Amino acid sequence: MTALRRYPVLVALAVGALFMVLPFAVVALNAVKSPAEYSAHGPLGLPHGLYLDGVEDFWQRVDFGRKLLNSVLISGSVAVGAAVLSVLNAYAIGIGRIRGRAWVLAFFVLANTLPQEALVYPLYHLSKQAGLYDTRLGVIIVFTVIQSAFGTYLLSSVLGRFPREIIEAARIDGANRWQVLWRIVVPVSRPTIGVLLVFFFVWTWNEFLLPLVMLISNDNQTVSVALGVLQGQRLMDATMTNAAALLGVLPAIVFFLVFQRTLTRGIAAGAVK
């Protein structure tokens, strides 16, 4: 009886999973079709050969290499910068147990939930005045700060449970607070910091509103912004759209395969503590 009832559940869940990944498959399928093939057999026909001109053409037309570089540069800098800022904040809150830490922590949590719509115009205005408008540095600064709100929240609770004996021992050996932080707290908390680095990188890679407003020139745009703007202009034909989608999906799949464990575990850690 139970043996008979096992498989329907598996089949149902597998069909659901298939539905989740199907869009990726359809995109990959159509990105390697020639326009003639596409118009003859529609989006569901199987490609007869590997036609990569569409992808290549799209790559060159939007200078995709440049966009990738911008995304890597911005996301990488933000990940490192935001992790450093989170560590400093969390050291004061979690280990230093500074007075009023509950309020400080509440401030960071609320800052983290603040909608970017409430910051976007002043940031646009201020960055123009500071000469940071339409520069990658401007976006890096803004997201370093925004992402570190979540990092501070997560790391503070992790460091709050840091074994105090280790710190006391180091203090007795003559280490100052700065040395305790970099030689003991950071190495011991490496797993959590690793999760934060991955999160910050992927989140910044996927950010849309602020980069859309702050980066207007082609040379500075990220992958997300460039593709979103192109789609918004409704100028792409089917082959181009699929090439764009494929090139946008590929980095995400690479991150996913590389970071899958970190991402799924880290989210669980972040959600409930």
Partner 1 sequence: MTTTAARGGRRVAGRVKAGHPRRPRETYALFLLPGVLAFTVVVVVPFLMNTGTSFTDWQGVGTPSWTGLANYRELWADTEFWASFRHSLFMVLAMAAIPTAVGLVLAAALFDHIGKHFGSRVVAVLRACYYLPQVLPIAVAGIVWSWILAPDDGSLNALLEAVGLGSWQQDWLGDPDFALYSVMGVMVWVQLGFPLVVFMAGLQRVDPGLYEAAELDGAGWWRRFWHITLPQIRPEISVVLLWCTIAALKVFGAVYVLTKGGPGGATDVPSYFSFTTFFEKTQVGYGAAISTVLTVIILALALIGLRFQTRAEDAEEGVRA
Q: Which is nearer to partner 1, 88 or 188 (CB)?
A: 88
* Residue 130 beta carbon to partner 1: minimum distance, rounded to whole angstroms: 10
Q: Going by C-beta distance under 8 Å and a sequence separation of 6 or more, which residues neighbour residue 38? A: 30, 238, 239
Q: Which is nearer to partner 1, 50 or 271 (CB)?
A: 271
* Residue 212 beta carbon to partner 1: minimum distance, rounded to whole angstroms: 8
* Residue 196 beta carbon to partner 1: minimum distance, rounded to whole angstroms: 14
The Cα 50–Cα 273 span in angstroms is 48
* Residue 34 beta carbon to partner 1: minimum distance, rounded to whole angstroms: 14
The Cα 148–Cα 111 span in angstroms is 10
- Cβ atoms of 75 and 204 within 8 Å: the answer is yes
Reduced to 3 states (helix: H, G, I; strand: E, B; else coil), residue 39 is helix
Q: Which is nearer to partner 1, 16 or 187 (CB)?
A: 16
| DSSP string computed for 226-268 | HHHHHHHHT---HHHHHHHHHHHHHHHHHHHHHHHHHHHHHHH
Q: Going by C-beta distance under 8 Å and a sequence separation of 6 or more, which residues neighbour residue 75? A: 200, 201, 202, 204, 205
Q: Which is nearer to partner 1, 48 or 97 (CB)?
A: 97
Q: Which is nearer to partner 1, 51 or 205 (CB)?
A: 205
* Residue 87 beta carbon to partner 1: minimum distance, rounded to whole angstroms: 9
Q: Which is nearer to partner 1, 63 or 206 (CB)?
A: 206
Angle at which helices 136-160 and 238-272 cross, to 10° = 30
The Cα 143–Cα 146 span in angstroms is 5
* Residue 230 beta carbon to partner 1: minimum distance, rounded to whole angstroms: 8
Reduced to 3 states (helix: H, G, I; strand: E, B; else coil), residue 190 is helix
* Residue 39 beta carbon to partner 1: minimum distance, rounded to whole angstroms: 8
First and final C-alpha spacing in the chain: 41
Reduced to 3 states (helix: H, G, I; strand: E, B; else coil), residue 217 is coil
* Residue 129 beta carbon to partner 1: minimum distance, rounded to whole angstroms: 12
Q: Which is nearer to partner 1, 5 or 190 (CB)?
A: 5
Q: Which is nearer to partner 1, 63 or 203 (CB)?
A: 203
Question: Which amino acid is it at 164?
Answer: R
